[in-house]
A = this chain, B = another copy of it.
């Protein structure tokens, strides 16, 4: 048991498995959910609540209304439509929310400092597309240095899955008996996962849809 930690919990499969992984490693876990105005926000938040309840942790929701007002991205309700198709540069560039992880991590670091917690965890992994520069390990490392320098208790940021592909995270979860139906991926945020957008296609591959291993109910 390594003490206390804050976890960035989006309700997606990566941060869901991270919470399951951390449950046996930290004595106290505080989950933070950020509402930055994404289209799939209500679906995500419902999953984050289920996950926090299931794993017996607290969950604090932090609203960031300025992101929808000031930033442009198809991921936001203020932006253009989410494109269909695979996880590739030209297709997902519109879904970038600039420096999103930097913003969420810095707020989590302030929260941790205020609540005397020494650690912040994020579920970044090696499969995150290079078009999201704030998912890279080099970013997380630099941000951790900034957190350590900028807080009186020298807070650290860690990305335990940074060397894993999304498939490895799925496998890690499966070994722990993690229930993936407690997570949400689809950027469109309709009643079911659409099954066609980049993040649905990525989820299908990671969870082994073709092998019948994916418990998700898709629209298509």
Interface of A toward B, CB cutoff 8 Å:
60, 62-67, 70-72, 96-103, 105-107, 109-111, 113-114, 131, 133-134, 136, 138-139, 142-143, 145-152
Contacts of A105 in B (CB 8 A): 106
Complex Cα spacing A96 to B151, Å: 10
Instruction: Pick from B60, B70, B99: contact of A60, CB below 8 A.
Output: B70
| A146 lies within 8 A of B139 (CB) | yes
Complex Cα spacing A63 to B69, Å: 11
For A63, A98, A150, the residue with the greatest tally of chain B CB atoms inside 10 Å of its CB is A150
Closest 6 pairs (CB-CB, A-B): A99-B110, A98-B113, A134-B150, A142-B146, A139-B150, A106-B106
| B145 lies within 8 A of A72 (CB) | no
Complex Cα spacing A109 to B70, Å: 12
Q: A65-B63, A143-B146, A150-B133 are in contact. Are A110 and B102 (CB under 8 A)?
A: yes
Q: A139-B150, A149-B136 are in contact. Are A109 and B102 (CB under 8 A)?
A: yes
| B145 lies within 8 A of A133 (CB) | no
Q: How many copies of this chain does one complex carry?
A: 2
A/B interface sample: 8 pairs, CB < 8 A: A63-B66, A65-B65, A99-B106, A101-B150, A102-B106, A106-B106, A133-B149, A142-B142
By secondary structure, the A interface counts as: helix
| A62 lies within 8 A of B72 (CB) | no
Instruction: Pick from B67, B111, B138: contact of A70, CB below 8 A.
Output: B111
Contacts of A113 in B (CB 8 A): 98-99
| B106 lies within 8 A of A103 (CB) | yes
| A150 lies within 8 A of B146 (CB) | no
Q: Say how far A47's CB is from chain B's closest CB, in angstroms.
A: 21
